[in-house]
Amino acid sequence: MKFRSATDVVGRINMRLQPRGNDLRRQAKVIETMLQEGEALLDRARLLAHLQEFGLSGSTAAWKGLASYADWINTSVVGPLQIPTEMVDYLLYAGRHRPASVAEIGVANGGMATFSAAFFQALNPACQYHCIDIKDRFYVLPRIRERLNFAFHIPSTSDDHAGKVFDVVFIDGDHSYGWAKRDYLNMGRHAKMICAFHDIHGQEYVSEEGGIFGFWRELRATEARQSTMIEFSHAVPGEGVGPRGLWMGIGIIDRTTTRGLPLATA
């Protein structure tokens, strides 16, 4: 499937998929459980099971690359637009640092933001989750909205937050090269612990001056000398994502290791 931009994808999908009540109620239960479980969420199998119950956005049903996750997909639009294992591995990686502030650029329906906010809040009850998007289509039950430490900055772009410092910044907004770079310069480079990009392998955006695909590779060439860089890339070659499996992918810059990886002491 080919889309012009991330905004097109979400916009077209939202018009098609309704209603979302049952999905939101089920998601609310998952969130309550996660908040009670705290540190136990650092168990990968447990976190994946919660994500399966929470569900992916119904819009992903059309994505052949997620064919093996057919039973994870909601009937409505609510839920993350992610490969589950990539998302969970990013969360576990960032969660080790118990961030107190996280910003997601491009929250769409709020599926990833809601699940992530509950995860980080379970590990650090003071954690604030900042939601940035140019359009408001965030769906969450009012009681969950109250329960989670959300800060909504909608509509806004990274231009409105230039220079602000967050522990973790997750970049998943406009996927053109120009915006990937702008989001990084405005916010990503100021991230204290982790700066992550979604779609580092996304071929859909390469026509946009190289897209995130191009910017990530350019950044990697210089940044890897200073910080640990990690890539989670779980798309399956041949399963609708081309012979090389280049699709989605989460790239992480870990600033906590700038002074060198901690060495095991005898």
What would the two tokens of residue 111 be? Answer: 């599926």
Query: CA 189 → CA 165, 174, 179, 182, distances in Å?
Result: 9, 17, 14, 10
What would the two tokens of residue 228 be? Answer: 């640990």
Q: How far apart are the first and last CA of the chain?
A: 53
Contacts 24+ apart (CB under 8 A), 110-113: 110/78, 110/137, 110/138, 110/139, 110/140, 111/54, 111/56, 111/57, 111/78, 111/79, 111/80, 111/81, 112/80, 112/81, 112/82, 112/87, 112/170, 112/172, 113/138, 113/150
Q: Which amino acid is at 223?
A: E
Identified binder of ligand SAM from the candidate list 35, 81, 140, 194, rule CB under 6 A:
81
Stretch that binds ligand SAM, among 2-10, 21-29, 45-53, 244-252 (CB under 6 A): 2-10
Asked if 131 is part of the footprint of ligand SAM (rule: CB under 6 A), the reply reads no
Asked if 157 is part of the footprint of ligand SAM (rule: CB under 6 A), the reply reads yes
Identified binder of ligand SAM from the candidate list 35, 51, 102, 105, rule CB under 6 A:
105
Q: Which amino acid is at 85?
A: T
For residues 131 and 219, which CB has a smaller minimum distance to ligand SAM in the complex? 131
Asked if 107 is part of the footprint of ligand SAM (rule: CB under 6 A), the reply reads yes
Asked if 208 is part of the footprint of ligand SAM (rule: CB under 6 A), the reply reads no
Q: What's the min distance (Å) between Cβ of 155 and ligand SAM?
A: 8
Identified binder of ligand SAM from the candidate list 63, 139, 150, 179, rule CB under 6 A:
179
Angle separating helix axes 44-54 and 84-95, nearest 10 degrees? 130
**By CB under 6 A, what part of segment 216-255 binds ligand SAM?**
none
Identified binder of ligand SAM from the candidate list 133, 167, 223, 254, rule CB under 6 A:
133
Residue count, binding to ligand SAM (CB under 6 A)? 22
For residues 167 and 172, which CB has a smaller minimum distance to ligand SAM in the complex? 172
Q: Are 189 and 195 in contact (CB under 8 A)?
A: yes
Identified binder of ligand SAM from the candidate list 96, 98, 135, 164, rule CB under 6 A:
135
**By CB under 6 A, what part of segment 53-72 binds ligand SAM?**
none
Identified binder of ligand SAM from the candidate list 23, 89, 172, 204, rule CB under 6 A:
172
Identified binder of ligand SAM from the candidate list 58, 65, 84, 173, rule CB under 6 A:
173
Asked if 10 is part of the footprint of ligand SAM (rule: CB under 6 A), the reply reads yes
Q: What's the min distance (Å) between Cβ of 57 and ligand SAM?
A: 7
* Beta-sheet strands, E only, within the chain: 101-105, 128-132, 150-153, 168-171, 194-198, 228-232, 250-254
Interface ranges with ligand SAM (CB under 6 A) = 6-7, 10, 80-82, 104-108, 111-112, 132-135, 157, 172-174, 179
